[in-house]
């Protein structure tokens, strides 16, 4: 790998380590949490204003829901780690990965809608019960799905390294592994479904709050549209992470010969799988 590629990568890793060591990520988490609390309080007022028929209340509620989604995504969360890790590990086109990030955010909103209206009309649950189900059952299921994706990336990375080792010792002209062009293609709908499902299983508690309050006040449509606006706010962060990870990956591969790229890609996939698995294990630890 050329020195011009190694230097920016090393600087990026050093900057990340310095931010972590100086508590930068903790400060970001506190800022995002404070933003969520402030916006959630404002949303309650906007819903009451909407119920009272005040002018501009609907637009205000949608804006607040979008802002809540942004703050939610900016704080600690598994969606960014999964999208970013996958984007670094797999050679997926940036636009395709961005579409997956957007779809996962919208699917998370749909999960919240299904949980609220299923809980209300089928099980007669209150908000506390819905949040309990989301945290006690859906959250660990989501983290387990993420761990499975990490294991899957690890396995594929190891398989790619083994294939590369076989090619180094075989000169018969047979194809023992994917070409760089083949590796550039995402593994069809299966990978997209795994990514979207792993993120969407756990609904956002802010969306649950919004949906339940709107249902109680008889403004259901505003709650559903607000949950989708919240998802779009979340997507502003996850799509940015998708673009950054895909750009970083391609930057690392720029200038490499096809044979070198074929060797680097499995190593990136292996590393991404290990990072995603470690993040999932941390998230699952309180439930074990």
In a domain, 152, yes or no: yes
pLDDT in tens, 217-232: 889 999 999 999 999 9
Give the DSSP letter of residue 126: -
pLDDT at 261: 62
Token readout for 118 is 């299923």
pLDDT at 234: 92
pLDDT at 164: 61
pLDDT at 259: 62
In a domain, 256, yes or no: yes
Token readout for 50 is 């909407």
DSSP three-state, residue 167: helix
In a domain, 248, yes or no: yes
In a domain, 15, yes or no: no
Which stretches of the chain score pLDDT less than 70? 1-29, 76-78, 127, 163-188, 252-263
Give the DSSP letter of residue 71: H
In a domain, 51, yes or no: no
CA distance 274 to 149: 10
CA distance 37 to 39: 6
What domain range is 111 assigned to? 78-287
In a domain, 45, yes or no: no
Kindly give, in sequence order, each residue whose CB lies less than 8 Å from that of residue 112, ignoring residues fewer than 6 positions away. 203, 204, 207, 208, 211, 227
pLDDT at 183: 41
CA distance 25 to 31: 10
Token readout for 28 is 């970001």
pLDDT at 88: 77
Total domains in the fold of the chain: 1
pLDDT at 225: 96
In a domain, 171, yes or no: yes
Q: Would you state the torsion angle of the CA atoms of residues 208, 214, 216, 218, taken in this order, to the nearest 10 degrees?
A: -150
In a domain, 121, yes or no: yes
By C-alpha distance, which of 238, 285, 283 is closest to 86?
238
């Amino acid at each position: 790998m050329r020195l011009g590629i190694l230097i920016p990568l090393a600087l990026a890793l050093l900057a990340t380590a310095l931010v972590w060591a100086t508590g930068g990520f903790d400060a970001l988490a506190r800022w995002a949490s404070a933003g969520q609390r402030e916006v959630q309080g404002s949303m309650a007022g906007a819903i009451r204003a909407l119920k009272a028929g005040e002018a501009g209340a609907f637009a205000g509620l949608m804006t607040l829901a979008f802002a809540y989604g942004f703050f939610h995504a900016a704080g600690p969360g598994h969606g960014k780690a999964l999208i970013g890790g996958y984007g670094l590990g797999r050679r997926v086109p940036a636009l395709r990965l961005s579409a997956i990030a957007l779809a996962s955010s919208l699917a998370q909103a749909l999960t919240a809608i299904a949980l609220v209206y299923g809980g209300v009309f089928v099980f007669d649950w209150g908000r506390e019960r819905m949040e309990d189900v989301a945290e006690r059952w859906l959250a660990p299921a989501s983290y387990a799905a993420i761990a499975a994706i990490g294991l899957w990336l690890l396995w594929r990375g190891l398989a790619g390294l083994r294939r590369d080792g076989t090619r180094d010792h075989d000169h018969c002209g047979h194809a023992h592994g994917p070409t760089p062009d083949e590796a550039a293609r995402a593994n069809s709908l299966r990978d997209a479904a795994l990514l979207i499902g792993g993120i969407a299983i756990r609904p956002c508690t802010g969306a649950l709050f919004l949906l339940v309050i709107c249902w109680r006040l008889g403004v259901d449509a505003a709650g559903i549209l607000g949950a989708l606006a919240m998802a779009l706010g979340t997507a502003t962060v996850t799509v940015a992470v998708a673009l950054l990870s895909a750009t970083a990956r391609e930057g690392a591969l720029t200038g490499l010969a096809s044979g070198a790229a074929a060797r680097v890609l499995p190593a990136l996939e292996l590393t991404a799988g290990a990072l995603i698995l470690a993040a999932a294990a941390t998230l699952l630890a309180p439930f074990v």
